[in-house]
A and B are shown apart, each in its own frame.
Chain A
Amino acid sequence: MKFGVVRFPGSCDEVDALMACRRFADADLLWHGDRDLSGVDAVIVPGGFSYGDYLRVGAIARFSPLMESVIEFARDGGPVLGICNGFQVLCEAGLLPGALLPNDSLRFVCRQVDVIVENPGTPFTRACEEGDSLSIPVKHTTGRYYAPSGTLPEDQVVLRYAPGHNPNGSMDDVAGVCNEGGNVMGLMPHPEHAVDPLTGSADGGRLFESLAMVPA
């Protein structure tokens, strides 16, 4: 099992994501200008400010050469996890429903939040039980999830902010969603920053652990 972690110009969480992956399996960085996914089994699109987030968050990164290969990989059923800016990129690429808007507070938020596992039946959450509460940090300015009415079936809501923990005004407290096939997921919280009790919580590791598990 090998993870590939995408690095765009402007990515800033790719090394934490790489280290989080390596707790559970092999992992290597993938450069945005390449087209070769190097035979990885899962792709992580990490947080940061890809291509400067010019125009709109994630809008330009999604046209990078590597993303064309990631889109093809996802359409073939390969697991792809987008974290924060990576979530924004996957929405812009049309791999996930909805979009991310500026926080309702218009402020950058950086805090630990609790998220509840709503759907443990995805490759990203199979190490969890429904209703599990995970303590994971958020840090973003553009994290208010929105999907037009009727475009987000309930079983595609993978994670919700616990009551009182919604940091950005996201619709229905949605923190993480998956595509119809369940093989692409995006979330605003940063599981890669919560893989060691030293930094307050190891709950984020459950997502990487889930991906590294051999499907039953």
Chain B
Amino acid sequence: MAGALRLRARVLIRPKTGILDPQGQAVERALPALGFEGVANVHVGRLIELDVQDASQVPQMCERLLANPLIEDYEVVEIASHTAEDAA
């Protein structure tokens, strides 16, 4: 696939609003201990980056595998095109 145009997708996955996020709470409690005050609404999710040929398939990938829509929201935040050489 050398030289083929690829699309770079970045998927952000976060716990759905209203679902208890103990990881976010733990981080929120830890920051003041380091002197960082005024921090609220901390949530911990995950980031998936992938090169794809057809960006229109990314939401389906999220629905079927990358996220669990019952408990997680996902957002495709950045799509940039490049060639396979760029990525190497």
| A complexed with B | yes
List A residues at the B interface (Cβ < 8 Å).
55-56, 59-60, 63, 92, 98-99, 101-106, 144, 146-148, 169
Contacts of A98 in B (CB 8 A): 70
Mask of B43-87 contacts with A, CB within 8 angstroms, 1/0: 000000000000000000000011010110000000000000000
Q: Contact at B65–A59, with CB atoms within 8 Å?
A: yes
B contact residues around A144 at 8 Å (CB): 20
- Interchain CB contact under 8 A, B22 and A146: no
Which applies to chain B's interface (DSSP): helix, strand, loop or mixed? mixed
Complex: how many Å from CA A101 to CA B22? 10
A104, B22: Cβ atoms under 8 Å? Answer: yes
User: A63: nearest residue on chain B (CB-CB)?
Assistant: B65
Q: Is the beta-carbon distance between B70 and A148 smaller than 8 angstroms? A: yes
Contacts of A106 in B (CB 8 A): 22-23, 26
A-contacting residues of B (Cβ < 8 Å)? 15, 19-20, 22-23, 26, 65-66, 68, 70-71
Count, A-B residue pairs, CB within 8 A: 32
Most buried by B among A63, A99, A105, A169: A99
Specify the chain A residue showing the minimal Cβ separation from B71: A99
Q: How far is the CB of B67 from chain A (nearest CB, A)?
A: 8
Inter-chain contacts of B23 with A (CB < 8 A):
102, 106
A2: min CB distance to chain B, Å: 33
Give the nearest-CB partner of A105 in chain B: B22
Which chain A residues lie closer than 8 Å to B66 at the CB level?
A: 55
B71 lies within 8 A of A101 (CB): yes
Complex: A102 Cα to B68 Cα, angstroms: 14
A101-B44 Cα distance, complex, nearest whole Å: 13
**CB-based contact B22/A59 at 8 Å:** no
Alpha-carbon distance between A63 and B68 when the two chains are bound, in angstroms: 14
